[in-house]
Amino acid sequence: MRNPHAGSPFEATDADVAQALLDVSVPTLMLSCLHITGDPSIIRGPLRPAGLFLNEVQGYMSEEDKSDARALALEIIGSWRDQGCPEPAPLSPELIHEMMSWLVCEDVPTEYVPMLLEEMGLDGTDARTMGPIGTESQRADFPVVVIGCGQSGLLAGIRLAEAGIPFTIVEKNAGVGGTWWENTYPGARVDVGNHFYCYSFEPSDHWSRYFARQPELQQYFEDVMDRHGIRPHVRFSTEVLGAAWDEETATWSVWTQAADGTQDTLVARAVISAVGQLNRPNLPDIPGLDDFAGPAFHSARWDHSVDLAGTKVAMIGAGASGFQIAPAIADAVGHLTIFQRTAQWMFPNPNYHAEVGPGVQWALRHLPFYGRWYRFLILWPGCDVGLHAARIDPDYPDQQRAISETNEFTRQMFTEWITSQIGDDPELLANVVPDYPATGKRTLQDNGSWLTTLTRPHVDLVRTAIDHIETDAVVTTDGERHEADVLVLATGFQATRMLAPMTITGRDGTDLRTMWGERPFAHLGITVPGFPNFFMMYGPGTNLAHGGSLIFHSECQMRYITGCIETLVGGEHRTMEPRAEVAAEWHARSQAEIQTLVWSHPSVTSSFFKNTDGEIHIVSPWRLVDYWTWTNEPDVTEFILE
């Protein structure tokens, strides 16, 4: 069978191909040509990328070099087409490694190569799937309940189906997608490049934008669900209220409630929680909020029946959500007042709103391995480099401003980008340049739309604290009344209340959330002592603040969980749970590590990463390559097997 990444044969004319090549990432194109010809001299000559920055896909090549490279590629591709587009011969691992380093203009350390090869799947296989586990009767005896059908729950379903395990996914919403089902606010889009923010085993030649908007993302999960036949396994519009472990039968009872109030109990040998961290709205505790007379709604509960045309809108909060909402509604509204408590760091991304042109889509479909290398090109600049930059140098002076020399450099770069757009408005500038170290909170990206919006005459950015809300206004502590017809609460989520509001009861009736308090922990973010056969995806300590993609993390977690299930289904044990000391050691090590990173720094006073004591238990302090290595397969010596 032809390698699915080897490019589908085509008959386009030279002129059509030349037109398509005008659009593509030239360094990626050159690697595709190397696959076609097997000739490494293509990357050993003077035509090469000159530098790397996230989302800069031309490697800063000069126009002349790009033009020469395209001319060479046209010859190679034309001759390949004339031969009927044969499948290229595999390249040696050494050459692939050389290609990696060439594309990103830096030495890709050897320890990363296995992870990258697996993620890219150049050999056309999906190394993260397992195939059927155990015998048919063993599998039939091991029903699993998955809680949630967002990106991680859907993935869990796909992998369980491949393993032949019977499963039910319970989803509180009426459709698939989780975050991408709930966040329908104007302007909602992903901010990890879509050719990486998608499952590694699914095609990625269809995206209409480099950073897709919510409807396209939701449709993607819909399509993937149907391609893998997962829909019949999902109970939509049904919420899991809780789950309890039964020692006698070694099963979980999972209580559900459908939208019509009907309650049910599902019995499972294992439970996989895939509920995410960002889905329970954080509603601000502001006096008078309930007195507001007009429509008022949270960003993740957008009320599309409200016509904003000509209205006065007050938006409280401007983190990642508010940052996208303001530019998207500014044209329609009569007046927009944005209440931002803390300014946000952002970096430039000119492609943020860009469409994927037909040339790129053609290349993704027809040029061998173009899409795989493009995935790597988007992945690599966000792969662990951000973690190095987030490390606190305790000897660096003026820690309020920056936590290291690298961090000061980042601050200057980000500040220049902000300043270059504001022009001579010192008051606005003072309001939009953050006063805490760069990347101290989740860093945003923009193509200029946020700051352009703030400079519009009918848009105000208010940094004065809110005192209270009246029927028709938000009143700040300086006594000023900001009149409003509509109130938008872009105030984020209750991220630190992991798994709330479910009640999960393990051995001896222990309640998981009570046991955790404000310090949730799980071994590798996946398993908890005293909670046998209970697994989490996107659990404690796995949110990614330094780069990567949550889908990548989910694929790591689900491979590990499938490995655990294989141990149980095919082996002699009914239950597994991590040894208490293993989980405690992991938690202590993660805590020690996270305290060395900028997000923990006391100068970052307001952040949804932090609990009320200023500790961080939900974010990963680990390199992607380490997490990938640790989750490759479960180490059974770390578990109590009964």
Smaller CB distance to ligand NAP: residue 324 or 439? 324
Smaller CB distance to ligand NAP: residue 491 or 554? 491
Tokens for 526, please give them. 């996946």
Question: C-alpha angle with apex 224: 221 to 227, nearest 5 degrees?
Answer: 150
Residue 468 CB, nearest distance to ligand NAP (Å)?
12
Smaller CB distance to ligand NAP: residue 476 or 562? 476
Smaller CB distance to ligand NAP: residue 22 or 283? 283
Tokens for 560, please give them. 């590990």
In whole angstroms, what is the distance from residue 115 CA to residue 109 CA? 11
Residue 545 CB, nearest distance to ligand NAP (Å)?
8
Q: Residue 581: exposed, middle, or buried by beta-carbon count in 10 A (0-12, 13-18, 19+)?
A: exposed
Give the nearest residue (CB) to ligand NAP.
319
By CB under 6 A, name the binding residues for ligand NAP. Answer: 189-191, 278, 284, 299, 316-322, 324, 340-342, 442, 490-493, 606, 608
Give yes or no for a contact between 205 and 365, defined as CB atoms under 8 angstroms apart: yes
In whole angstroms, what is the distance from residue 83 CA to residue 77 CA? 10
Give yes or no for a contact between 482 and 489, defined as CB atoms under 8 angstroms apart: no
Residues facing residue 535 across a β-bridge: 272
Give yes or no for a contact between 489 and 319, defined as CB atoms under 8 angstroms apart: no
Residue 42 Rama label (left phi>0; alpha psi -120 to 50; beta): alpha
Residue 552 CB, nearest distance to ligand NAP (Å)?
15
Residues in the chain: 642
* Residues of the chain by 3-state class (helix, strand, coil), percent to 5: 35, 15, 45
Smaller CB distance to ligand NAP: residue 342 or 361? 342
Residue 281 CB, nearest distance to ligand NAP (Å)?
9
Smaller CB distance to ligand NAP: residue 341 or 365? 341
Give yes or no for a contact between 534 and 527, defined as CB atoms under 8 angstroms apart: yes
In whole angstroms, what is the distance from residue 493 CA to residue 495 CA? 5
Query: What SS3 state is found at 144?
Result: strand
Smaller CB distance to ligand NAP: residue 193 or 530? 193
Residue 296 CB, nearest distance to ligand NAP (Å)?
14
Residues facing residue 270 across a β-bridge: 144
In whole angstroms, what is the distance from residue 600 CA to residue 604 CA? 7
Residues facing residue 446 across a β-bridge: 348
In whole angstroms, what is the distance from residue 351 CA to residue 437 CA? 26
Residue 181 CB, nearest distance to ligand NAP (Å)?
14
Contacts with 518 (C-beta within 8 Å, 6 or more apart), sequence order: 496, 611, 612, 613, 615, 617
Residue 221 CB, nearest distance to ligand NAP (Å)?
15
Residues facing residue 281 across a β-bridge: 493
Residue 191 CB, nearest distance to ligand NAP (Å)?
4
Smaller CB distance to ligand NAP: residue 410 or 491? 491
Residue 211 CB, nearest distance to ligand NAP (Å)?
8
Contacts with 152 (C-beta within 8 Å, 6 or more apart), sequence order: 178, 274, 276, 537, 538, 550, 554, 557, 558
Smaller CB distance to ligand NAP: residue 194 or 590? 194
Smaller CB distance to ligand NAP: residue 24 or 499? 499
Give yes or no for a contact between 272 and 538, defined as CB atoms under 8 angstroms apart: no
Residue 475 CB, nearest distance to ligand NAP (Å)?
13
Residue 609 CB, nearest distance to ligand NAP (Å)?
9
In whole angstroms, what is the distance from residue 439 CA to residue 354 CA? 24
Smaller CB distance to ligand NAP: residue 424 or 613? 613
Smaller CB distance to ligand NAP: residue 321 or 567? 321
Give yes or no for a contact between 281 and 301, defined as CB atoms under 8 angstroms apart: yes
Residue 435 CB, nearest distance to ligand NAP (Å)?
11
